[in-house]
Structure formats: C-alpha cells, structure tokens
Structure 1
Amino acid sequence: MKKFDLRKIRLKTTRIDDIDDRMLLINLYATQAITFIIGFVWLLFQRRNPFSLYAPENDWQFLYWGLGLAAAVVLLDMLAARFVPDEANDDGGVNDRIFRTRPIWHIALLSLVVAICEETLFRGAVQHHIGPYWTSIVFATIHVRYLRHWIPTGLVFVISYALGWIYIRTGTLLAPILAHFVIDLVMGLVIRFRREP
C-alpha cells in the first residue's frame, strides 16, 4: 500500500479564468458546506441549540430589519457603483463569473445557500465569541478577493457589522440571513442583466 506524503502537496495560485464553470460551482458549494459545518459544530461546542437561533423572537420583526438593511445596502452599493471607479470595485471577475450566465432560480439558490451558511458561522458562532466588531474584521478578511481595494473591503466590513447588529437587535439569525440573501440576490440579478457598455 502506498503511503500518503504531505510533503508532496503543492499549492499554486489559480486565476479565475483558469477555472471552468463546473469547478467554480463545485468550489463555491463545497466552501459553503464547510462553512456551515464549522458553524454548526462550533455552536454545539458552545452548548447552544443551533436550531433555536433560526426561530423568530419578536414575531415578524426580523422581516423589517432584514429587508430594511438589504434596501440600505443595495442603495449604498448603487451609489458606490455610480461614483467609484470600476477598478476600485474590482473583485477579479469572481462575481461576474458566478452570476453572469446563471438562470434566475440558480442565482436565488446560490444567494440562499451563501446567506444561510455564512450567517450560521459568522453571526451565529463567531460573533458569540468575539463580538460584532472582530467578527466583521474576520468576515472582511475572508472575502479575500476584495482586499486589494479599500472601498469594497470597507463596505464588506460595514455590511458585516450591520448584519451583526440586526442579529443582536432581533435575536434571530433569520434577520441577517434575509438581509444577506436579498443583497446577494439583487447584486446577482444586476450582474446577470447588466448591459455591457
């Protein structure tokens, strides 16, 4: 039997153009699954019931907070797109590759999966340990494709902090999940239907 040797593993930098569509989706879904599993297990280690975090505490109040934050973020992003040069908002073409040719149902599914997985880990588990400020720093850092430009990095930090704040305010992950979902869905649809200049 052949022995596995860790020293033979080599990492290399890959550009988004080097990855085909199928592999891009596999990577996206796999990273989201890993994110969700880490968040879920972390919640169990915190001796918290993961399912109770998804229950609304104040009836439908989470809808107002989630939709209100999403509307504010979409408006802010539209203003940034209008007044900030394209090169300052460049994410390396990742979002364009993910959303440009997807059918609407798939954009909605991707947005929902990302919202549930990331909010479970960051707002549900991480924020419980280190608070919304440091969680937002970690959240902005893992969105590594934005780190080359300070404007998108700052926006990701502010959005993350706002997601953490509405989670504290409502007491349910449904508020940040809803906001995250609507933000990603609208941005995905904008990319999907945007006309090339």
Structure 2
Amino acid sequence: MPKFDIKNIKLRKVTVDELSDNMLLINLYATQALTFIIGLAWAFFQGQNILEIFRFQGSPSILYWAAGLAVLVVAFDVGISRWIPDEAKDDGGVNERIFRKRPLWHIALLCAVVSICEELLFRGAIQHAFGPYWTSILFAAIHVRYLRHWIPTGMVFAISYGLGWLLAYTGTIWAPIFTHFLVDLTMGIIIRYRREEE
C-alpha cells in the first residue's frame, strides 16, 4: 500500500468558471453546513441555549420591521447599481452562477439555508460575543468575493450592521433571518429573470 505524503498535495486557486454546477452547489451547501456547525458550537461554548436562540419572541409585527429593512436594502442595491460600473460590483460571477439557471424553488431553498446558517453564526453567536460592529467587519470579510471593491464591501458591512440592529431591537434572531432571506431571494430572482430576458 502506498504511503500518504502530505508534501504531494498541491493547492491552486480555482475560479468559479472552473467549477461544475454540481461542484458549486456542493461547495455552497458544505460551506453553509460548516457555518451552521461553527455557529452551534460557538453558541454552546458561550453557554447559550440553542432552542432559546431560535424561539420566536415578540409579536408577528417584528416581521414587518424585517420586511421593511429588506425593502430598503434591495431598493438601495438596485438604485446604486444604475450609477456604478459593473466592474465596481463584480463578485467574480458567483451570484450569476448560483442563481442564473436555478428554478425558483431552489433559489428559495438556497436563500433559506444561507440565511439560517449565517445568521446563527453571526447574529446568534458572534454578535453575542463582540457586538454588531465587529460582527459586521467579520461578516464583510467572509464575503471575500466582494473585498476587491469597496462599494460591495461597504454595502455588506452596512447590511450586516442593519441586521445586528434588527436583532437588538426585536430581540429575536428570526427578524434578521427573515430580512436576510428576503434580500437574497429578491436579488436571486432579479438575477434569474434578468438573465432569462437577455
């Protein structure tokens, strides 16, 4: 049996265009699963009750706040897109590849998975430890595909800070989850059907 040698492992940068559709989805779901596990572990080691984090607190009117923030984010994003050049908001084609040919039910599923996993880690665990400002810096940093351009990086930071404020204001993680879901779903649908028209 041949001996495993770690020195023979070679890493290279892969662009999104080099990934098959299946590999892109596997990567996305694996990354979200890892995010969820880290969020659970972090919350557990903070002494938080996971069931308590996901308990809906307050009245259903909280969802109006979440929807209102989502409308503001989407309106700002769509509005600013008209004045900034495409290269200033380029994410390397990741969003195009994720949403371009996806059926609507799968776009909704992807957005639900991403919003729950990322909000558990960032709002449920990290914000509990460091507050909304440092959480937003970390949130912007993990969206590495935007870091080449200051406009999308600033927008991701601002959105994250808004989600952090929403958690503090409403007292429930479901408000930022719902906002995150609505923003991603709306932008995914825009990408999906804009591309279809072209």
- Which of the five TM-score ranges fits, normalised by the shorter chain? over 0.9
TM-score by length of 1: 0.96
Give the CA deviation at 1:52: 1.1
Equivalent pair of 1:70/1:180 in contact (CA under 8 Å): yes
Match of 2:41 in 1: 41
Matched, 1:72 2:72: yes
Equivalent pair of 1:61/1:170 in contact (CA under 8 Å): no
Question: What do residues 84-134 of structure 1 show as CA deviations (whole Å, max 9, x unaligned)?
Answer: 111111101000000000000000000000000000000000111111001
In structure 1, C-alpha distance between the alignment counterparts of 2:62 and 2:6, rounded to whole Å? 47
In structure 1, C-alpha distance between the alignment counterparts of 2:5 and 2:121, rounded to whole Å? 32
Which structure 1 residue ranges, 5 or more long, are not aligned? none
Match of 2:60 in 1: 60
Match of 2:174 in 1: 174
Match of 2:113 in 1: 113
- The 4+ residue runs of structure 1 with deviation greater than 6 A are none
In structure 1, C-alpha distance between the alignment counterparts of 2:72 and 2:66, rounded to whole Å? 10
Which structure 2 residue ranges, 5 or more long, are not aligned? none
Match of 1:10 in 2: 10
Letter in 2 for 1:187: M
In structure 2, C-alpha distance between the alignment counterparts of 1:184 and 1:12, rounded to whole Å? 30
Return 59-68 or 26-35, whichever deviates more: 59-68
In structure 2, C-alpha distance between the alignment counterparts of 1:115 and 1:161, rounded to whole Å? 15
Match of 1:50 in 2: 50
* Equivalent residue runs for 1:79-98 within 5 Å: 79-98=79-98
Letter in 1 for 2:146: Y
How many residues are matched? 197
State the Cα RMSD in Å. 1.3
* Equivalent residue runs for 1:119-158 within 5 Å: 119-158=119-158
Percent identity among equivalent residues? 61
Match of 2:163 in 1: 163
In structure 1, C-alpha distance between the alignment counterparts of 2:169 and 2:6, rounded to whole Å? 46
Give the CA deviation at 1:59: 1.6
Matched, 1:25 2:52: no
In structure 1, C-alpha distance between the alignment counterparts of 2:11 and 2:61, rounded to whole Å? 46
Give the CA deviation at 1:61: 3.1
In structure 1, C-alpha distance between the alignment counterparts of 2:172 and 2:148, rounded to whole Å? 33
Match of 2:101 in 1: 101
In structure 2, C-alpha distance between the alignment counterparts of 1:4 and 1:178, rounded to whole Å? 46
Match of 2:192 in 1: 192
TM-score by length of 2: 0.95
